[in-house]
């Protein structure tokens, strides 16, 4: 059940250029959240009126906390970045359909840039053999957190500053990565290329999509993505029908 | 003791607070947050004769004190609405107002015919959506066209017909009079104001459609002014909307001449907004000894 609640900030610190690691106490939301879901954060400054959708990086039901790793990309996220420990954040969530984690032998997790954080909770919830492939422009985030899960972690960077020089799909081709299912989150161009790779290898692939949204609950119909429908398409909502879709359903933009 | 009941074209609402079309779906999403039974009416998202896909994404841009949208009336069509949404809404003790959209007069009439005899309370003719290339606002910005589309719609409608007006005109009172001459039973205003936002770092408009409709508290003074002018110019009841966030905002529209008010963008900012507007209106009435909404309606000379 979705809730609007006041969360207490326990931590909000930079971990990379423009990227912040926030821990909030919100037991009612943590209780029912699952991997791949998101929350809306309200700014309450009277100017930036729309709440901001932020993916959930980790869920801890014992402590009633959520970890959010977010990038400062506009006014809203910049305002969050100035929040201090013990500040109150009004949030709504958990929202959307997260990853439906399959009982398979080998799972692959593919994240790009600020799409990496929601995969951490997803990895922790999956069983069996796991391979994690993370891509960044330069440098890394959350590498140690992913390594702590015991899974194999491969890194690709555009500038070659860390690991493989190139993008995640080039790395997967180079390493001939195969498995039973892919869970992914990242920029649209990465997800499109990944879904082609998955199809060529016959791997089922789930992608978490992003789009500008207002309400976060399916009412405003702002966050449309194209979903195949016979020879045509229909628009589905990232916030309510997604954000996770099967890659075969998505009609990718050219 | 206060009485919040209002009457619009023979339909009695328990209070003057309704939802603005396109901001509340058919109520399902918000029923997880608020008690739909409390609302005067639910005005549903625009319904066309066939499913519409709407415009490409991005469709949303935040602006100072408001937002732009270019959704383009994406909707699953009238057959789906009749099958799924009317039974859902009828579980609640509230009035159902169906916003109808079309690219042509024929399409509007198809929706009206499909809804005739169905368990709804009123129709709202959307001749003011800025996000569709044909129909929508194209019908709502020309007096002779407004009169024609309204009179055609009235020929077929078996329920009271509200006509939703566009603020993107030189003289909204002329458009309002044209709708009245066409036979409208009530008017609602304002729809969104056309606006644009450019991402200066990407050197592109934020909206895929480039231009969208602006809503939110930043447009409220414009909306109040137009409700004031229109309610003085016509005899029809007026439903006022545009940036209402709380009970005080609702009172302002009522004093400007509105019989009822709609809460729109506020739903996105606060899912409890409609209930809070109702509570705020009641508090105002109690505190200032207003026993009937009509006592403050249109009191601004």
3-state secondary structure A165-214: ECCHHHHHHHHCCCCCEEEEECCHHHHHHHHHHHHHHCCEEEEECCCCCC
Chains A & B: contacts with CB separation below 8 Å = 97
Say if CB B57 and CB B74 are below 8 A apart. Answer: no
pLDDT-derived band of residue B128, with 50, 70 and 90 as boundaries? Answer: confident
Q: Is B129 a catalytic residue?
A: yes
B178-182: list long-range contacts, CB under 8 Å, 24+ apart.
B178/B143, B178/B144, B178/B146, B178/B147, B178/B150, B179/B146, B179/B147, B179/B150, B179/B234, B179/B236, B180/B234, B180/B235, B180/B236, B181/B147, B182/B146, B182/B147, B182/B148, B182/B149, B182/B150, B182/B151, B182/B154
Q: Kindly report the nearest CA distance between residue B280 and chain A, in angstroms.
A: 18
Q: Kindly report the nearest CA distance between residue B33 and chain A, in angstroms.
A: 8
A positions 204-223 inside 8 Å of B (CB): 211-215, 217-223
CB atoms B60 and A2 under 8 Å: no
Q: What's the gap between Cα A57 and its chain centre? A: 7
Using the predicted structure, report yes or no on whether residue B114 has a pLDDT greater than 80: yes
Closest CA to B97 of B83, B81, B113: B81
Which residue among B45, B62, B271 sits closest to A48, beta carbon to beta carbon? B62
Provide the pLDDT for residue A1. Answer: 66
Kindly state the average pLDDT of the residues B57-61.
96
Which residue among A214, A219, A221 sits closest to B67, beta carbon to beta carbon? A214
Q: Is residue A235 less than 8 Å (CB to CB) from chain B? A: yes
- List the beta strands (DSSP E) in chain A: 3-16, 19-25, 38-41, 52-55, 58-60, 65-71, 88-95, 106-112, 129-136, 152-157, 164-165, 181-185, 204-208, 224-229, 232-237, 244-246
Local structure of residue B84 (DSSP, 8 states): I
Q: Kindly report the nearest CA distance between residue A102 and chain B, in angstroms.
A: 28
Mean residue pLDDT across chain B:
96
Closest CA to A90 of A42, A35, A56, A58: A42
Provide the pLDDT for residue B140. Answer: 87
Condensed to tens digits (0 to 9), the pLDDT of residues B161-220 reads 999 999 999 999 999 999 999 999 999 999 999 999 999 999 999 999 999 999 999 999
Q: Is residue A188 less than 8 Å (CB to CB) from chain B? A: no
Kindly state the average pLDDT of the residues B140-165.
95
Say if CB A154 and CB A134 are below 8 A apart. Answer: yes
Interface residue of A221, A229, A231 to substitute, partner B, most B CBs within 10 Å:
A221
Task: Enumerate the residues of chain B whose CB falls inside 8 A of the CB of residue A224.
Answer: 54, 56-57, 59, 71, 74
Share of chain B above pLDDT 90, in %: 95
Half-sphere exposure of B112 (CA within 13 A, CB side): 26
Provide the pLDDT for residue A254. Answer: 66
Condensed to tens digits (0 to 9), the pLDDT of residues A22-64 reads 999 999 999 999 999 999 999 988 889 999 999 999 999 999 9
Kindly state the average pLDDT of the residues B59-84.
96
Say if CB A164 and CB A154 are below 8 A apart. Answer: yes
* Spatial CB neighbours of A30, under 8 Å, sequence gap ≥ 6: A59, A60, A61, A63, A64, A65, A66
User: Could you say which residues of chain A have pLDDT below 70?
Assistant: 1, 254
CA distance A168 to A109: 11
Q: Are strands B122-126 and B193-196 parallel, antiparallel or unpaired?
A: unpaired
Candidates B48, B71, B123, B129; catalytic one = B129
Q: Is residue B201 less than 8 Å (CB to CB) from chain A? A: no
Handedness of CA A68, A71, A77, A82 (dihedral sign): positive
Question: Which span out of A147-151, B104-108, B255-259 was modeled with the highest average pLDDT?
Answer: B255-259
B positions 47-76 inside 8 Å of A (CB): 51, 53-54, 56-62, 64-67, 69, 71, 74
The region, left, alpha or beta by phi > 0 then psi within -120 to 50, assigned to residue B109 is alpha
Kindly state the average pLDDT of the residues B77-99.
97
B positions 119-178 inside 8 Å of A (CB): none
Edge to edge, the sheet with strand B211-215 lists B60-63, B66-69, B211-215, B193-196
**Distance set, CA A221 to CA A96, B25, B117 (Å):** 14, 8, 29
Task: Enumerate the residues of chain B whose CB falls inside 8 A of the CB of residue A218.
Answer: 25, 28-29
């Amino acid at each position: 059940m979705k809730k609007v609640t006041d969360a207490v900030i326990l931590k909000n610190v930079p971990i990379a250029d423009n990227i912040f690691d926030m821990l909030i106490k919100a037991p009612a939301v943590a209780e029912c959240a699952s991997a791949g879901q998101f929350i809306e954060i309200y700014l309450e400054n009277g100017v930036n009126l729309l709440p901001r959708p932020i993916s959930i990086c980790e869920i801890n039901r014992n402590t009633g906390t959520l970890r959010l790793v977010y990038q400062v990309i506009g006014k809203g996220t910049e305002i969050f970045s100035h929040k201090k420990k013990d500040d109150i954040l009004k949030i709504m969530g958990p929202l959307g359909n997260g990853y439906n984690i399959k009982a398979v032998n080998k799972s692959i997790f593919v994240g790009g840039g600020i799409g990496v954080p929601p995969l951490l909770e997803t990895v922790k919830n999956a069983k069996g053999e796991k391979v994690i492939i993370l891509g960044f422009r330069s440098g890394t985030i959350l590498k140690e957190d992913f390594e702590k899960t015991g899974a194999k972690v491969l890194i690709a960077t555009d500038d070659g500053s860390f690991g493989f020089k190139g993008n995640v799909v080039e790395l997967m081709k180079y390493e001939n990565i195969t498995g039973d299912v892919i869970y992914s989150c990242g920029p649209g161009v990465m997800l499109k290329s990944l879904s082609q790779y998955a199809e060529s290898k016959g791997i089922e692939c789930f992608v978490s999509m992003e789009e500008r949204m207002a309400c976060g609950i399916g009412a405003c119909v702002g966050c449309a993505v194209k979903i195949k429908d016979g020879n045509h398409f229909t628009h589905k909502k990232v916030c309510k029908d997604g954000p996770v879709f099967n890659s075969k359903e998505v009609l990718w933009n050219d | 003791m206060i009485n919040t009941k209002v009457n619009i074209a023979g339909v009695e609402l328990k209070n003057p607070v309704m939802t603005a079309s396109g901001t509340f779906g058919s109520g399902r999403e918000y029923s997880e947050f608020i008690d739909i039974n409390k609302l005067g009416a639910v005005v549903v998202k625009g319904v066309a004769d066939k499913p519409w896909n709407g415009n490409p994404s991005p469709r949303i841009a935040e602006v100072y004190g408001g937002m732009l949208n270019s959704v383009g009336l994406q909707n699953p069509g009238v057959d789906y609405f009749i099958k799924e949404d009317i039974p859902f809404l009828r579980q609640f003790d509230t009035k159902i107002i169906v916003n109808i959209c079309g690219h042509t007069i024929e399409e509007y009439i198809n929706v009206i015919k499909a809804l005739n005899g169905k368990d709804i309370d009123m129709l709202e003719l959307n001749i003011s959506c800025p996000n569709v290339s044909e129909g929508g606002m194209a019908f709502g910005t020309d007096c002779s066209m407004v009169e024609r589309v309204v009179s055609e719609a009235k020929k077929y409608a078996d329920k009271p017909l509200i006509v939703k007006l566009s603020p993107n005109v030189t003289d909204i009172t002329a458009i309002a009079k044209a709708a009245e001459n066409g036979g409208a039973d009530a008017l609602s205003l304002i729809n969104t104001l056309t606006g644009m936002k450019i991402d200066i770092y990407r050197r592109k408009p934020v909206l895929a459609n480039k231009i969208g409709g602006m809503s939110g508290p930043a447009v409220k003074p414009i909306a109040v002014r137009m409700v004031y002018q229109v309610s003085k110019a016509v005899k029809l009841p007026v439903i006022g909307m545009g940036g209402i966030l709380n009970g005080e905002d609702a009172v302002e529209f009522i004093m400007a001449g509105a019989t009822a008010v709609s809460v729109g963008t506020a739903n996105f900012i606060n899912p409890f907004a409609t209930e809070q507007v109702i509570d705020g209106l009641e508090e105002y009435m109690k505190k200032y000894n207003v026993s009937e909404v009509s006592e403050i309606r249109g009191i601004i000379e």
